[in-house]
Structure 1
Amino acid sequence: MTRIRTRQVTVLAPVLAAALLTGCGVLPAMPGPTPTGFVPSEVPAPAPTATGNLSPDGFDAAQRMAVRIRNVGCGSVSTGSGFAVDAQTLITNRHVVAESAELQLSTYDGRDLAATTASTAELADLAIVRTTDELPAVPELADADPAPGDTVSVVGYPQGGRLTVTSGKVIGGTTDPLNENLGEVLVTDAEVEPGSSGSAVLDAQGRVVGVVYAKNSVNQSFIVPVSTLRTMLADTGSFVDAPSCAG
């Protein structure tokens, strides 16, 4: 797999009610320049569209499994994204649900969902949220990680706004710049923004191939690959209760 160096990295959960970007981190630049030869300049990345590179049926399924997450903390409010993995379980990022007093969930059509518990992974920036209500749709997890050059679509709620799908290509792999013990993560040129944290990354068949959690200073997005997600979901000891600001 093509490997790249990373630059400054920012997690993607924006704080809406506080001046400081609590919950958002910035890393110092990694040594050396970022290579430029992985996506040929004569082949531009796909432009974002209403459905990304998904078929109409694929987009319909994607929007029904995507959930907006509002983290009401003690003195701050932030937003993120998530997606279903079974009828009452969401996947999102650890930093999306950390230090919350209340998690507010809603679907693309404005339906509110009640959250019961949240658990975070100790190894990667992943979290599980359980719901009382059933989720509208559950996607299929891909059997393998995407390869460099594969087209992927990101489905989420950037800036806590309306559901958005953007598309791009997998550039390669790199050592996780935020969780050094995790190992390799994937890098894409799919456009993401604060609030995209926890978004599902889908292949052309609408299968989940990863989870967005950060981007760097040159607008490349970082994703936890589906192989890591599968491994952690199969290990009941991978997740612990999410930290709460309510004490």
Structure 2
Amino acid sequence: MTSRRHHAARTGALVAAAVVLTACAALPAPPAPVPTSVVPSTVPAPAATDDGSQLSPDGFDAAQRMAVRIRNIGCGALSTGSGFAIDEHTLVTNKHVVADSAQLELSTYDGRDVAAEAASTAALADLAVVRTVDALPAAPVLADADPAIGDPVTVVGYPLGRQLTVTDGRIMGAVTDPLHANLGEVLVTDAPVEPGSSGSAALDASGRVIGVVYAKNATGMSFVVPVSTLRTLLADAAAFAPAPTCG
């Protein structure tokens, strides 16, 4: 813990100009249908596999199947974000992805639409859960502990609300949340993300969830709610309340 806090102090410059990653657009133009292809892109990282990702082949396949694209249709505007299944009828995303909506539209990696039933948001972190009417394709395993500095990380989501994309990097440190949206520390990674990546799963090399992406800064570093926070909130039935709507 001491070395982690020492490294976190050195990452203080990384928190400047942090912004959340929801992509917004004016109505009525919706995004094109979700392409079924996956476009891996990487930064230098160890043990890259033939598909261009540092995930194992099994982990890469599972990452595709559990990722969900989210369209938040609000009152006069729409935004896009990402999420991932944690069981057959529940997905995790960010609070700011689902807040102030009139309707949530969900779709999977293969272009299948999934009906949303209800969304709830956490009071102490930029996290939300969405219950679905239709079954989700697959759910990942949540890691037992937060990653260490230097560990590989893979982010899987829908940047700009377009095709499913997988990007690789490393855990660079831990800092107090620069946006004050989370209680306690968040992780910093150099895995590339874009608007629309909010709610993406951050995975270890075995495809286990180690956190949830929610923001990036001006230097390209991204911020991740750690899996320890996610686990704590999921275990507390009182941690989530109905998401605010635009009406």
The TM-score range, normalised by the shorter chain, is: 0.7 to 0.9
CA distance in 2, matches of 1:240, 1:60: 33
- Residue of structure 1 in register with 2:18 after alignment: 9
Q: For each residue in 1:107-157, what CA deviation from the matched residue of structure 2 results, as whole angstroms up to 9, or x when unmatched?
A: 000000000000001111000000001110010000010000000100000
CA distance in 1, matches of 2:181, 2:67: 28
Aligned-pair CA distance for 1:46: 3.7
- Residue of structure 1 in register with 2:39 after alignment: none
CA distance in 1, matches of 2:77, 2:45: 36
Q: Normalising to structure 1: TM-score of the pair? A: 0.86
Q: For each residue in 1:26-80, what CA deviation from the matched residue of structure 2 results, as whole angstroms up to 9, or x when unmatched?
A: xxxxxxxxxxxxxxxxxx7449996521122211111100000000000101000
Q: CA RMSD in A?
A: 1.6
Letter in 2 for 1:204: A
Question: Matched residue of 2:130: which SS?
Answer: strand
Does the 8 A contact of 1:123 with 1:179 survive in 2?
no
Unmatched tracts of structure 2, length 5 or more: 28-42
Question: Matched residue of 1:16: which SS?
Answer: strand
Letter in 1 for 2:154: S
Q: For each residue in 1:171-230, what CA deviation from the matched residue of structure 2 results, as whole angstroms up to 9, or x when unmatched?
A: 000001112660100000000000000000000010000000000110000000000000
- Residue of structure 2 in register with 1:82 after alignment: 83
Does the 8 A contact of 1:188 with 1:222 survive in 2?
yes
Alignment of 1:122-133 (within 5 A): 122-133=123-134
Question: Matched residue of 1:118: which SS?
Answer: strand
CA distance in 1, matches of 2:181, 2:113: 36
CA distance in 1, matches of 2:213, 2:149: 16
CA distance in 2, matches of 1:103, 1:50: 32
- Residue of structure 2 in register with 1:207 after alignment: 208
Alignment of 1:198-237 (within 5 A): 198-237=199-238
Letter in 2 for 1:173: A
- Residue of structure 2 in register with 1:52 after alignment: 53
CA distance in 2, matches of 1:207, 1:55: 11
CA distance in 2, matches of 1:197, 1:95: 8
CA distance in 2, matches of 1:229, 1:51: 28
- Residue of structure 2 in register with 1:99 after alignment: 100
- Residue of structure 1 in register with 2:138 after alignment: 137
Moved over 6 A (4+): none
Letter in 1 for 2:215: A
Number of residue equivalences: 221
Question: Matched residue of 1:148: which SS?
Answer: coil
CA distance in 2, matches of 1:56, 1:11: 31
- Residue of structure 2 in register with 1:150 after alignment: 151
Question: Matched residue of 1:58: which SS?
Answer: helix
Unmatched tracts of structure 1, length 5 or more: 19-43
CA distance in 2, matches of 1:164, 1:180: 25
Distance 1:181 1:196, change over 3 A: closer
Letter in 2 for 1:126: L
